Structure 1
């Protein structure tokens, strides 16, 4: 159909859990029929999902947790490396119990779900409403997670802390100037920065180092095999 500008195929942990996500240039969903056991969802220009056929989400499993991801939401594309990512973040946090953790760009709760059992409280910030709804369901068994919906820049202005560590996984553009300013105001003693773009990671780490942080290490992960893209985990401390 020539009205379709983008078509995304998303497959959950169960290979039979298949979802098509359609975008058009005019916010009008195309007339569509399917002869396959797939779900079909439509994304408006503001990324609001509209369910057309079947379910509005797929389900991923990472270790012992299930994560519902609604059309338009973000999840790591490589499940094998997602397991490694979780382990590496937990290793670098080195939680002993009793800590208060701030997580920015928390999505549907992938990292939150594994951090929360090892600390006192996780304040989890996400701007995309369907992802917050998913996280609320995905993390329903955890009573020490405070989900906050809103732009990171605005939420940071309202937070006082103190936080023992910050975990963040921003989009490719990295931290905005206001978000960076909010992080520097809170000054958590440890930052675990997950990034899919080494260029913006380097830019933001430079700004953090210039303001007193020490860059301990940057661990690359081959999240996107046979491409030039690379996921990185940077650890910074005061």
Structure 2
């Protein structure tokens, strides 16, 4: 039986970065996933989780030999035992991007057999003040905050340097019933929207406290939508990704295109411009409020038709063949059923927008079974200071 190392302090050398905001080290034949360290550093790390088996988790609590890329975190809570919202505040922004690039490349090679050099590009606006939507919870003292890493413990906030300025002001200004969950969003016009979330008899409920209808700007259009529905969190992300979809989709005039996991139709609007009034765009989205918002926002584009429901079901009787498919699935990826349904439409080009490199790599491997290969890929630092990275892949 493996000895439980919980609370043990290990002196170790930190190895390569891994997916999930930590680096890998090895001690006495076991893998140690270390947060708050950087590759090549020598540290003392306290074990924070050990469920037995071949690995455990630890925080670097003392740096004995620091990396040249180490910096002082801009937030005093981005430390071991502090807020779990950020992973890489102790690394300079350029090095953060190189770590993310290494993760994307490793996932592609390990899960899809694709060897590719990856560069993670910064978005406009800098590494701070970008997060336009934040989920908060009130601690025992009623102050709103974020949870510690892998914990239910609430770390109260006075401010958050990665949030868009003003986003948290209303939520942090008062005390809440302990356990209250809040979601606050700042839209493209700088207006803040706040709602309270709760679970009643097993069902999710929400109460709008301020705002509710957000205004966003992207792809040459003004969008009005549920403030807490899906929209890119980084203020410059939606327009950046829409421009890339426009460049890579190349939907033919009069052609057929699918926008899957369409949200309110950001990419559908781009595809509709390309296919023109004689073409057809099918937008599929499971969220009924998003479909309602999308139909309203794209009412001037009759070539766009909407279906609410699961993608694999909506595509069963969708018009085929299809020229171009754009998909932007949730973090878990599309999965085999959706990939099979897309391949059944025999598209010439597929543009895949992904927020998780592991899920992207798994789906690319499945697309390869249908004869599709990765012909281009760009990665963006749409979530600075965290381990998350956004990729856009072109398959043909």
TM-score between the two structures when normalised by the length of structure 2: 0.52
Counterpart selection for 1:90 from 223, 246, 251: 246
Name the structure 2 match of 1:221: 380
Report the CA distance between 1:188 and its aligned residue. Answer: 1.4
The answer to whether 1:64 aligns with 2:220 is yes
After TM superposition, give the deviation of residue 176 of structure 1 in Å: 3.0
Residue 329 of structure 2 is aligned to residue 154 of structure 1: no
Secondary structure of 1:117's counterpart equals: helix
Following superposition of structure 1 onto structure 2, how do residues 96-107 of structure 1 map, counting pairs within 5 Å? 96-107=252-263
* Counterpart-to-counterpart distance in 2, 1:201 and 1:190: 16
C-alpha contact 1:3 1:24 (8 A) present in aligned 2: no
C-alpha offsets along residues 130-188 of structure 1, whole Å, 9 cap, x if unaligned?
00000011111112111111111211122241110100000001113322221222221
Which of 264, 286, 294 is residue 135 of structure 1 equivalent to?
Answer: 294
Residue of structure 2 in register with 1:39 after alignment: none
* Counterpart for residue 189 of structure 2: 14
Q: CA deviation at 1:77?
A: 0.9
In structure 1, C-alpha distance between the alignment counterparts of 2:341 and 2:237, rounded to whole Å: 30
TM-score by length of 1: 0.84
Alpha-carbon distance between aligned partners in 2 of 1:212 and 1:104, rounded to the nearest angstrom: 20
CA distance 1:27–1:131, change in 2 (3 Å): farther
Deviations 1:33-66 (A, max 9, x none): xxxxxxxxxxx52xxx756455432111115311
2:331–2:354 CA contact under 8 A, matched in 1: yes
Map residues 107-118 of structure 1 onto 2, 5 A cutoff.
107-118=263-274
* Partner Cα distance (2:251, 2:258) in 1: 13
Match of 1:200 among 349, 359, 371: 359
Give the aligned partner of residue 236 of structure 2.
Answer: 80
- Structure 2 gap segments, 5+ residues each: 1-175
Equivalent runs, 1:34-45 vs 2, <5 Å: 45=204
TM-superposed deviation, 1:202: 0.3
**Residue 116 of structure 1: how far off its partner (Å):** 0.8
Aligned-partner Cα distance in 2 for 1:59–1:207? 37
Distance apart, 1:79 and its partner CA: 2.3
Give the 3-state SS of the residue equivalent to 1:111 in structure 2: helix
* CA RMSD, Structure 1 to Structure 2 (Å): 2.0
Higher mean displacement: 128-137 or 82-91: 82-91
**Is the CA contact (8 Å cut-off) linking 1:192 and 1:234 kept in structure 2?**
yes
Q: Distance in 1 between matches of 2:328 and 2:378?
A: 14
Instruction: State the shift of 1:78 in Å.
Output: 1.3
Task: Choose the corresponding residue for 1:188, options 328, 342, 347.
Answer: 347
- Whether the 8 Å CA contact 2:283–2:306 is kept in 1: the answer is yes
Structure 1 runs not aligned, ≥5 long: 29-43
Q: Deviations over 1:104-130 (max 9, x none)?
A: 000011111222111122111111000
Normalized per residue, which structure has more helix?
1
Residue 25 of structure 1 aligns to a residue whose secondary structure is: strand
Q: Aligned pairs, how many?
A: 218
Asked if 1:2 is matched to 2:191, the reply is no
State the partner residue of 2:370.
211
